[in-house]
Amino acid sequence: MTLDAYHQLLERELAADDPWSLDGSSFEQARYAEMLRMLRCNGGGALSALEVGCAAGAFTEMLAPLCVRLTVLDVMPQAIERARLRATKWSHITWVTCGIQRFSTDEQFDLIVVAEVLYYLKDVAEMQATIRNMVRMLAPGGTLIFGSARDQICQRWGHAAGAETVIALFNESLSEVDRLNCHSGSANEDCLIVRFRKPDDSSEQSNVGH
Ligand SMILES: C[S@@+](CC[C@H](N)C(=O)[O-])C[C@H]1O[C@@H](n2cnc3c(N)ncnc32)[C@H](O)[C@@H]1O
């Protein structure tokens, strides 16, 4: 998919009342419920989190009360504007308009959530570079929740790759802790959600010499 086609597609969706039917679809709401269940498996605690690709803020609204600090990023200014309007009651959110492939900060997040976003990247090489960038921003012992439609569906939509390809790339540097298949009867509603953990520096050190 060309960069132009990709931006037009996102612009069209983000002009809709309910972009990607994220609020109205029972499949999407079930997907969010599973993502929340997975991130709660961490045992809660004070979280500094990054949400990548907020669309109109449907998941932002669920994530915000679980964090002490939340950075919300989207490549489209329309998405950030819509999500920001929806989340005015929270003052602990930092809004960033930027592609995740270019985003950089010295902050280390306890939690990164990146769902239904990475298949918009140009090719597998860009996905791999972006994954390295996100892993760098994840604190040791931190959790990353990844979600995506499967490879076959993403390729049918015109993207380079989807869930299976990206999960293999994440597994090069993170440990997979939990995986779930979320699907419905519809051919477009079949995704994988995975919880990854970044190895803790201390657990690496404690293994030295054993
Ligand atoms: C299908 S929506 C997914 C929304 C939400 N994450 C979810 O799981 O329902 C994809 C969102 O990712 C954003 N997006 C696409 N490419 C991106 C990129 N390179 N960096 C950051 N956000 C991106 C789009 O603008 C859109 O808001």
Which of 37-46, 138-147, 163-172, 197-206 has the lowest average pLDDT? 197-206
Angle at 52 between CA 50 and CA 54, to 5 degrees: 110
Confidence of residue 209 (pLDDT cuts 50, 70, 90): very low
Q: Which amino acids bring their CB within 6 angstroms of ligand 1? A: 10, 20, 22, 52-53, 55, 59, 73-76, 79, 99-101, 115-117, 120-121, 147
Instruction: Write the pLDDT tens digit of every residue in 5-32.
Output: 888 999 999 999 999 999 999 999 999 9
Query: For the whole model, what pTM was predicted?
Result: 0.95
Q: How far, in whole angstroms, is CA 204 from its chain's centroid?
A: 26
Residue nearest to atom 12 of ligand 1 (CA): 53
Instruction: Write the pLDDT tens digit of every residue in 166-186.
Output: 999 999 999 999 999 999 999
Measured in Å, residue 91 CA sits from the centre of ligand 1 at 22
Residue nearest to atom 14 of ligand 1 (CA): 53
Confidence of residue 87 (pLDDT cuts 50, 70, 90): very high
Amino acid at position 164, single letter: E
**Which helix (H) or strand (E) is 38 found in, with range?**
helix 26-40
- Is residue 210 predicted with pLDDT exceeding 80? no
- Is residue 205 predicted with pLDDT exceeding 50? no
190 forms beta bridges with 183
Measured in Å, residue 170 CA sits from the centre of ligand 1 at 18
Return all residues near 100 (Cβ < 8 A) that are at least 6 apart: 52, 53, 73, 75, 114, 117, 118, 130, 133, 134
Measured in Å, residue 187 CA sits from the centre of ligand 1 at 21
Beta strands (DSSP E) in 77-189 are 93-97, 109-115, 138-149, 175-183
Instruction: Write the pLDDT tens digit of every residue in 49-64.
Output: 999 999 999 999 999 9
Q: Which ligand 1 atom lies nearest to the CA of residue 28?
A: 9
One of 3.40.50.150, 1.10.10.1100, 1.10.3860.10, 3.30.390.50 is the CATH number of 3-197, namely: 3.40.50.150
Give the residue-averaged pLDDT of 91-96: 98
The CA-to-CA distance between both ends of the chain, in Å, stands at 50
Name the residue of 120, 127, 193 whose CB sits within 8 Å of the most ligand 1 atoms, as the mutation to test its pocket: 120
- Is residue 44 predicted with pLDDT exceeding 80? no
- Is residue 206 predicted with pLDDT exceeding 80? no
**How much of the chain, in percent, has pLDDT values that exceed 90?**
87
Residue nearest to atom 15 of ligand 1 (CA): 117
Measured in Å, residue 51 CA sits from the centre of ligand 1 at 10
Measured in Å, residue 52 CA sits from the centre of ligand 1 at 7
